[in-house]
Amino acid sequence: MPREGLRTLAPELLRQRIDAVTGTLPGAKAVDRHLSDLRGCFADEAAYEAALEGGDELVYSVTTGLEDESEGGLSYGLGVVQPGRVGREYYLTKGHYHAWREAAEVYIGVSGAGGLVLENDEGAEQFVPLGAGELVYVPGATAHRTVNTGDVPFSYVGIYPGQAGHDYASIAEDNFRLVVLAGPDGPVVMNRSDLLDPSPTATIRKAHA
């Protein structure tokens, strides 16, 4: 949306309602991501191939509500991650850095339950739960992925600088260092390296306090 259009302050440009039933922003087009779009994202490759053979399920969709790419402008989108797992790993988004590395983002939980897997190039990583009515701040230069840890669709709004852009390749190279799995008493977070090469000292943390 060019700034000129917004300058008229027309309410239809400034206000949008989330359709809670369909998980969409009316009038905007959703981009769907299916299992086949997520090759390389899940830790258990055999489970991924088996899941894909069972059908190319919808994993998540993103609807961009507004794109204000003018200097200082903001964009926002609605994400909906379906409930489901590949092996023990919960359905997730591809995840990305912003192409403009310093661009931060605010996530607001709308419905369902899940969280954000975060990491940066300085060796820090974190899983931050996000529920309906909660906010999570994603600082600049931080790769981010959302995960649905519940059994209903997990929806959220992400608000970011309109010039942020997406860089999927940098994080796809080694994938995120943390994985979020179904444990015996709810979601648990592990290092990918411990999952792929199990050691008795591996740290398994509860995802929700």
Can you tell me the distance from the alpha carbon of 124 to that of 99, in angstroms, rounded to the nearest whole number?
19
Q: Is the Cβ of residue 99 or residue 152 nearer to Ni ion in the bound state? A: 99
Q: Taking CB within 5 to 8 Å according to partner kind, which of ligand 6PG, Ni ion, none is near residue 88?
A: none
Site string for Ni ion, 46-85 (x = CB under 5 A): ----------------------------------------
Close Cβ partners of 39 (under 8 Å, ≥ 6 residues apart): 48
Q: In sequence order, what E strands does the chain have?
A: 30-34, 58-67, 74-81, 85-86, 89-90, 105-111, 113-119, 125-131, 135-138, 143-148, 154-161, 178-183, 186-191, 204-206
Could you give the CA distance from residue 156 to residue 145 in angstroms, rounded to a whole number?
12
Only segment of 7-15, 86-94, 99-107, 116-124 that touches Ni ion (CB under 5 A): 99-107
**What are the φ/ψ torsions at residue 106 (nearest 5 degrees)?**
-115, 130
Which listed option, ligand 6PG, Ni ion, none, makes contact with residue 94 (CB within 5 to 8 Å by class)? ligand 6PG
Q: Applying CB under 6 A, which residues contact ligand 6PG? A: 62, 77, 79, 93-96, 105, 144, 146, 158, 160, 164, 166
Cβ distance to ligand 6PG smaller for residue 100 or 194: 100
Which chain residues interact with Ni ion by CB under 5 A? 105
